[in-house]
């Protein structure tokens, strides 16, 4: 069995990357070709995501400036020591600095080990400097949009492997409501940044009929969103659920999940939604949603910042709920993101690299 290292920096413990790593280990537990050990340099605020993984943790500090000081001074030596001690067959990292330092360490140790970059963000919104791009031997792309971005930046097609992200789901059907239209928002609540909740509220403010928006997410910094809802006179339509660890076990009904993000890598919330038979409306941004949402099959994509189109798509759900696709059809569309299929994508990529 070949062994690999997965090097990660400090992570909050509640993000999408942590969920993907957890699901990766679930997928790898079903095969005997590869064994991966995680080296977390910086730690995490919450380690639930690491359950079932082989993880080695180096806590640094809860204070960001102390972690940054450590990375600037001690990280090169730390990565060198880890690689020298473990002698892996391959190295994967989600962090550009870490995969660059891994490349330097491998050269110093005279080892022939591929460095694999596993970046979880759109390169348009979170660019990578050419020095870091050129230091990776191969790339794991979580969406076809990110693969296109890498090719545009000069990375050869044969060095990029499209693997998507895995979703762990019981595929329980979440029924549609019989009374009024229930829109769902699930994620970080910010008005104008990545999640662009302003656009969602603008679209909903023009929707006629009986509807409600259930908001699942940490609302501790959501005051600007609440104030904007008041300004639009739709506060009475909003139901604030707060952060819930396992929201899918708490969502009892849903007409549609709505995502109005300015950018994503591969939005897991869409993958999870369709795995429960929930129709999705999403902005058709450069990377992510168009790998998941297929018009008429499991949802609808609208042109980003086209409020009129968004409103029209939302209004259709209020007036014509019976026109939605069959929920079993929606669930079937999520199979490409299943744990089993993800295991195949991941191992096939490693088979080609090694």
pLDDT tens for residues 72-83?
889 999 999 999
Lowest-pLDDT range, 88-97, 98-107, 245-254?
245-254
Q: What is the mean pLDDT of residues 114-121?
A: 95
Which strands form 90-93's sheet, in the order they lie side by side? 55-59, 34-42, 2-8, 90-93, 115-117, 138-141, 160-162
pLDDT of residue 46: 85
Band (145; pLDDT cuts 50, 70, 90): very high
The answer on pLDDT for 332 being more than 90 is yes
Q: Give percent of the chain above pLDDT 70.
A: 100
pLDDT of residue 50: 86
Q: What is the mean pLDDT of residues 114-131?
A: 92
Other CB atoms within 10 A of residue 79 CB:
26
Among 3.40.920.10, 3.40.50.2000, 3.30.1390.20, 3.20.20.140, what is the CATH number of 181-335?
Answer: 3.40.50.2000
Other CB atoms within 10 A of residue 25 CB:
18
Band (244; pLDDT cuts 50, 70, 90): confident
pLDDT of residue 277: 96
The answer on pLDDT for 309 being more than 90 is yes
Number of alpha carbons in the 13 Å side-chain half-sphere of residue 121:
12
pLDDT of residue 351: 95
The answer on pLDDT for 15 being more than 80 is no
The answer on pLDDT for 148 being more than 80 is yes
Please, what is the angle between helix 268-275 and helix 16-28, to 10°?
A: 60
Domain layout of the chain by residue ranges? 2-166+338-353, 181-335
Dihedral sign for Cα 76, 3, 339, 250, please: negative
Lowest-pLDDT range, 167-171, 207-211, 257-261, 269-273?
167-171
pLDDT of residue 261: 93
Cα–Cα separations (whole angstroms), residue 292 to 74, 129, 138, 268: 41, 28, 24, 9
Q: Which of 13-27, 64-78, 131-145, 167-181 has the highest mean pLDDT?
A: 131-145
Q: Give percent of the chain above pLDDT 90.
A: 69
Are the C-beta atoms of residues 26 and 54 closer than 8 Å to each other? no
Q: Which of 8-17, 59-68, 110-119 has the highest mean pLDDT?
A: 110-119
The answer on pLDDT for 14 being more than 80 is no
Band (94; pLDDT cuts 50, 70, 90): very high
pLDDT of residue 32: 83
Band (151; pLDDT cuts 50, 70, 90): very high
User: pLDDT averaged over the chain?
Assistant: 92
pLDDT of residue 84: 95
Among 309, 313, 292, residue whose Cα is nearest residue 144: 292
Measured CA to CA, the distance from residue 128 to residue 153 in angstroms comes to: 10
The answer on pLDDT for 354 being more than 80 is yes
Q: Taking the domain 2-166+338-353, which CATH number applies?
A: 3.40.50.2000
Q: Could you tell me which residue, 259 or 29, shows the higher pLDDT? A: 259
Other CB atoms within 10 A of residue 139 CB:
22
Same topology, domains 2-166+338-353 and 181-335? Answer is yes
pLDDT of residue 194: 85
The answer to whether the pTM exceeds 0.85 is yes
Band (43; pLDDT cuts 50, 70, 90): confident
Band (162; pLDDT cuts 50, 70, 90): very high
pLDDT of residue 109: 96
pLDDT of residue 331: 95
Among 199, 205, 232, 213, residue whose Cα is nearest residue 306: 199
pLDDT of residue 61: 80
């Amino acid at each position: 069995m070949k062994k690999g290292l997965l090097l990660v920096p400090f992570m909050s413990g509640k993000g999408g990357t942590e969920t993907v790593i957890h699901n990766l280990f679930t997928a790898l537990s079903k095969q005997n070709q590869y064994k991966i050990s995680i080296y977390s340099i910086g730690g995490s605020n919450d380690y639930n995501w690491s359950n079932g993984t082989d993880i080695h943790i180096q806590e640094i500090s809860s204070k960001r400036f102390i972690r940054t000081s450590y990375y600037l001074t001690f990280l090169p030596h730390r990565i060198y020591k880890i690689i020298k001690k473990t002698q892996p067959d391959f190295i994967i990292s989600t962090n550009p600095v870490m995969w660059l330092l891994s490349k330097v360490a491998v050269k110093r140790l005279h080892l022939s080990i591929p460095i694999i970059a596993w970046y979880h963000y759109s390169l348009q919104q979170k660019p990578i400097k050419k020095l870091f791009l050129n230091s990776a031997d191969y790339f794991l792309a979580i969406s076809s949009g990110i693969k296109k971005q890498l090719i545009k930046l000069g990375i050869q097609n044969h060095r990029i492997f499209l693997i998507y992200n895995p979703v762990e789901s019981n595929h329980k059907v979440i029924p549609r409501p019989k009374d009024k239209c229930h829109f769902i928002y699930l994620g970080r609540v910010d008005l104008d940044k990545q999640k662009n909740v302003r656009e969602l509220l603008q679209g909903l403010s023009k929707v006629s009929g009986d509807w409600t928006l259930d908001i699942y997410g940490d609302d501790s910094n959501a005051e600007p969103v609440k104030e904007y809802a008041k300004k639009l006179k739709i506060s009475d339509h909003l139901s604030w659920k707060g952060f819930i660890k396992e929201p899918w076990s708490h969502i009892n009904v849903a007409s549609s999940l709505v995502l109005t993000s300015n950018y994503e890598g591969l939005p897991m919330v869409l993958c999870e939604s369709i795995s429960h038979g929930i129709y999705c409306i999403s902005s058709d941004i450069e990377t992510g949603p168009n790998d998941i949402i297929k018009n008429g099959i499991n949802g609808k994509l609208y042109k980003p910042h086209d409020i009129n189109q968004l409103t029209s798509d939302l209004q259709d759900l209020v007036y014509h709920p019976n026109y939605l696709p069959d929920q079993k059809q929606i669930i079937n569309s999520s199979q490409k993101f299943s744990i089993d299929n993800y295991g195949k994508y991941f191992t096939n990529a490693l088979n080609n690299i090694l």
